[in-house]
Chain A
């Protein structure tokens, strides 16, 4: 266990010392916080969960947020909890990428484990990192979680490629940034995308109407 503490401490310190510049190497000055972070990282690793999201959050907290030790510890604990909930919601045996994406989505207010379970059920064999990312961003933009989930599920079932989903998410982003309402923007963009997707799934190219070219790669 002591070796594990060493490794965790080293990992945390590597991030802490991955400096923004030679002049000011950020560090966790609070020894209590450092010890608690070590414990959280060890426990997360012991549970078979990816620790990179925690380490990334710690570094973000130091470099960008300039957060005090206790706040960093609370953030790390929160992520560890979301990772575990995400793994449970994305069962069975989600890979680390999906767990990370699930935890990220759960960090958006309004996204609950049931949304993750629904997306997983619609795509049981493929990675759900991109659909969950789009879901998270739609909710972050102001779309209700149920509508965002329903839209993502619809895209999965219609065979939308990851790039098509990403394009939808980015387009809604732009529309919202331009002052459009999130729900309306999503409806408009979904109609546009549905025009090139099969009604019940299938490749976009096969379903393309005459005169319309498929956008993005075919269904994987």
Chain B
């Protein structure tokens, strides 16, 4: 602990804050009455997560997962019924990528996403997507477009200024680094990703 904790001002403040209110028997009675009449229902809040970690999928969390599955079910339906990835207009952006970026708090954020082109050479792949921290690593969100000569895949994605990790998902299953980009090892998970630093115009 720091020297500030020896500070007499702080010690005196803590002493003051530690003073207990008198025991209010009437308040205790009200609490017990309220608890006694409260309906007993399945655990519906996360207060039990710590106390009962083995059964920690609370109703709310399970409901969240179920709701997400329903939503994704609608999304995947569109993917299943399409035979080829919709061509991506060079000038268009993938809105989903920007939604996952920063939530403004505190000072106003004056940065805007910057269109960034990614190119991946692979003539044999059937499908290639770009996945990165700018689109939540969702392969279905940013499919790449085959170049006319069939040797490469390309996409332009709006990316917030700063350093980003990404890669390419080939045929929905093989994560591949960008051979043109520097690599970075994830300090938490030990795996590698490609790095892009995006400036601000």
CA distance A101 to B182 in the complex (A): 18
Within 88-112 of B, Cβ neighbours of A (below 8 Å) are at 100-111
Question: Which of B65, B67, B108, B200 is within 8 Å of A95, CB to CB?
Answer: B108
Most B Cβ at <10 Å: residue of A3, A34, A97: A97
Interface residues on B, range: 35 or more
Fill in one digit per residue for A80-107: 1 if any B CB lies within 8 Å of its CB, else 0: 0000000000000111110011001101
Question: Which of A20, A75, A140 is within 8 Å of B173, CB to CB?
Answer: A20
Are the CB atoms of B188 and A78 closer together than 8 Å?
yes
Question: Which of A36, A75, A93 is within 8 Å of B188, CB to CB?
Answer: A75
Q: Tell me whether A204 is interfacial, beta carbon within 8 Å.
A: no
Question: Which of B45, B72, B161, B175 is within 8 Å of A19, CB to CB?
Answer: B72
Known: A9-B64, A127-B111. 20 other contacts (CB 8 A): A8-B61, A8-B64, A16-B68, A31-B55, A38-B61, A39-B50, A42-B46, A56-B133, A56-B136, A56-B137, A67-B189, A95-B102, A96-B103, A96-B109, A97-B111, A130-B199, A132-B163, A167-B199, A176-B182, A177-B182
CA distance A34 to B56 in the complex (A): 8
If A5-B60, A109-B187, A166-B198 touch, does A17 touch B109 (CB 8 Å cutoff)?
no
CA distance A149 to B193 in the complex (A): 23
Q: List 25 A-B contacts (CB under 8 A).
A: A2-B58, A5-B61, A6-B61, A6-B64, A9-B62, A10-B67, A14-B71, A21-B139, A25-B72, A32-B56, A35-B53, A60-B137, A60-B165, A64-B137, A65-B189, A93-B107, A94-B106, A95-B104, A95-B105, A97-B101, A108-B187, A129-B160, A132-B162, A137-B163, A140-B195
Q: Tell me whether A59 is interfacial, beta carbon within 8 Å.
A: yes
CA distance A39 to B200 in the complex (A): 35
Q: Tell me whether B79 is interfacial, beta carbon within 8 Å.
A: yes
Question: Which of A22, A32, A133 is within 8 Å of B79, CB to CB?
Answer: A22
Q: Tell me whether B69 is interfacial, beta carbon within 8 Å.
A: yes
Tell me which residues across on chain A come within 8 A of B199, comparing CB atoms: 130, 161-167
Q: Tell me whether A141 is interfacial, beta carbon within 8 Å.
A: yes
Closest A residue to B44 by CB, please name it: A2
Closest B residue to A170 by CB, please name it: B197
Are the CB atoms of A35 and B61 closer together than 8 Å?
yes
Fill in one digit per residue for A39-76: 1 if any B CB lies within 8 Å of its CB, else 0: 10010000010111101110111111101000100110
Are the CB atoms of B109 and A19 closer together than 8 Å?
no
Number of A-B contacts (CB under 8 A): 250
Tally of chain A residues near chain B (CB < 8 A): 89
Q: Tell me whether A213 is interfacial, beta carbon within 8 Å.
A: no
Most A Cβ at <10 Å: residue of B55, B108, B133: B133
Tell me which residues across on chain A come within 8 A of B133, comparing CB atoms: 53, 56, 60
Within 107-143 of B, Cβ neighbours of A (below 8 Å) are at 107-111, 131, 133, 136-141
